[in-house]
Structure 1
Amino acid sequence: MIIVLSLPEPLMSFVRWFPEEFSTWSVLKREAKTRFVRPFVRNEIDAISFVDRDWDSLVVLDACRYDIFDEHNPFEREAKRVHSNASHTGDFLRRNFADSYPDTVYVTASPQVAQLGGEFAHVEHVWQDDWDESERTVLPEKVTDRALELADRFPHKRLVVHYMQPHFPFIGPTGENSHSQGSFLNGHRNRTYPSVWERLDAGEADIELVRDAYAENLEVALPAVERLVDTLDGKSVVTSDHGNLYGKRVSPLPVRLYGHPPGIPDPELTAVPWVELPFESRRDITASTTSAAETDSGRTQERLRALGYV
């Protein structure tokens, strides 16, 4: 923080820019550190373009580190280590799915797609109708249910299925018991530490407990993912949009980052799994006119806050 405070004008410019409603010191501190470090991060990553890869169904586990997935991989196929061209869901959408894709249906638990995604044959915003208020996220079973419905409805489209896990909030037993270390206290949003990453950055959370809850979040989601890919026809690939950091120094500067800030091409943050599952035949893909999906902007912001994005 001493380094950041030695640059008052850049920091004050950020403070003036940041929405007043969310201008807690912990958020400002983490964002200022990210902005200060970003120019010094070495970009030597051979990243992939997700949309250009060969798949009929792309299963995206939000914020899933390669090493954690490899440890819990339920499939007989190897999880290859590839590098995403993004360190944040916003980057992922802008760099892979920001154009027009009339041959693709996007099923998403992430509200980010409503703001940053391109045009698709159809977008299914699962977070609108299947949001779980008690968990403050979308449960993986709901995503699988809706994705299978859309696969039947659009049998000649590529399918992107975007799960929210293992991204915070944590929904497993360990995670539910550690909600007080995250963004909610006694059912109410914690204004001092809006997400678990601010708590870790401030030294107010047990990092090993958070790691365990994060891995458990992946384990909770995997049965729903298995049910999906076991049912789908064509070639399915399981991957992630980006990884996650636990206080790594991503540059020569003595600054540690937590979570998955945008614009940080660090290899630990961009390393994601790539699992190509076996198939008997490919889906016959066709294009058609895209259709816009309407979303409630107020509800979008509310659920982005619950997920720790704003």
Structure 2
Amino acid sequence: MDIATLSGKIATGRIGQTLSRLVPATPIWEREWDVCCVLDGCRLDLMREAAAAGHETLPGPDSVGSLWSVGSQSAEWMDRTFAPEHREEMARTAYVTGNPFSSQSCEHILVTSDDVLPLEPDDFGVFHEAWRDDWVDDDISTIPPEPLTDAAIAIWRNRHELGIDRILIHYMQPHAPFRSRPGWFFGSADIEHWGQFTDGEDADDDVDLEDLTPAEREALEALAEAEAESDDETDSMNDPWLRLRDGDLSREAVWAAYRDNLEWVLDDVARLLANCDGRVAMTSDHGNAIGEFGVWSHPPGTPVPALRRVPWAVRDGRDRETCDPDLPEGIRERDADDATGADGADGDEIESRLEALGYR
């Protein structure tokens, strides 16, 4: 076993999980913000790179600070961010999320507790699981940023009536799948295979090899070969970072697609800044490791800085009323007995969406 593999096993094993608990993490509640945008899986250096390139949503790169996240994976971040000791802050906060972990017990993730997940409407002043109704199955299967921004703008404009003084928006980008590389995720665009190549017994039902381009066939063959040779317990088809580790994708290509996904969400956060008054923060739940200490992707309970040190950037928003979205239907119609977002995706669909993220 080489040094990188050994250090990776240590960092993601029991020793790493113990050390992870000792990281001096900062819950977002300890920072000042009115509107907080969580950009799922955004590395600190990626945001600073986008800032240095002059993206309009971000301050200069010297103004992109950082904090140590409470987790290295989304469910772990939710478990600690929404822990019982933060109930008072949560009761005055609207949470708009595109991440399906909000509905999961996560019993299989050993570093999470039994006290938080799944989240409930009563946990927050307003709770809107946008992923239930706004999932898109196209070239890639994901929830784009636009419906989350629309919901957040409408909720924030009605904050006084809704009894909230903060709003937290959990965007799924820059997390894969990558909009600029749909070919990496070909095979099926339905929810059951969100962001991944089709595999398993139903593969022939989803993919007609005669319809694939030569490049797609070559990619599929390379993927099948990598799968056959891999003895890793994790299915690398579900995660571009593991495919990078396995040599199936180049670092330059993955980074460029990752950067484009960040620009995708930042472009929509610019719309948020133009339609919400207040202090708008941008951060992440975790980063993505690309071989640091032998770690790849974002396993839970991992103390590696590439995963735990996340960006923190702040801008002042001003409502110029450049758009006028409606309140989401569940919030508009809810009453004391009507839980927001109760309808939508069923359990199988939720599980499939998380599987496509590489979490199953």
Amino acid in the other structure paired with 1:176: P
Question: What is the Cα-based RMSD across aligned positions, in Å?
Answer: 3.4
CA contact under 8 A between 1:45 and 1:267: conserved in structure 2? Answer: no
Three-state SS of the structure 2 residue aligned to 1:278 is strand
Aligned residue runs from structure 1 range 257-268, under 5 A: 257-268=295-306
Percentage identity across aligned positions? 33
Specify which of 120, 123, 127 is matched with residue 124 of structure 2. Answer: 120
- 2:64 aligned partner: 79
**Could you list the runs of 5+ residues in structure 1 that have no partner in the other structure?**
7-29, 250-255, 282-288
- 1:61 aligned partner: 39
Shift of 1:215: 1.1
CA contact under 8 A between 1:43 and 1:266: conserved in structure 2? Answer: no
Which structure shows the bigger proportion of residues in strand conformation? 1
Say whether 1:269 aligns with 2:317: no
Aligned residue runs from structure 1 range 159-238, under 5 A: 159-171=167-179, 173=180, 175-179=181-185, 183-185=196-198, 193-238=237-282
- 1:145 aligned partner: 150
Specify which of 89, 93, 101 is matched with residue 104 of structure 1. Answer: 93
Distance 1:239 1:33, change over 3 A: closer
Distance 2:318 2:142 in 1: 34
What is the TM-score normalised by the length of structure 2?
Answer: 0.66
Aligned residue runs from structure 1 range 232-251, under 5 A: 232-249=276-293
Shift of 1:58: 0.9
- 2:135 aligned partner: 131
Deviations 1:18-60 (A, max 9, x none): xxxxxxxxxxxx9998336635867774321112322111110
- 2:78 aligned partner: 93
What is the TM-score normalised by the length of structure 1?
Answer: 0.76
Deviations 1:105-129 (A, max 9, x none): 1101111122234611221111111
Three-state SS of the structure 2 residue aligned to 1:265 is coil
Shift of 1:183: 2.2
Distance 1:220 1:205 in 2: 21
Distance 1:146 1:248 in 2: 37
CA contact under 8 A between 2:238 and 2:358: conserved in structure 1? Answer: yes
Distance 1:41 1:112 in 2: 24
Shift of 1:192: 6.5
How many pairs are equivalent?
272
**Could you list the runs of 5+ residues in structure 2 that have no partner in the other structure?**
105-116, 188-194, 208-219, 224-234, 320-335
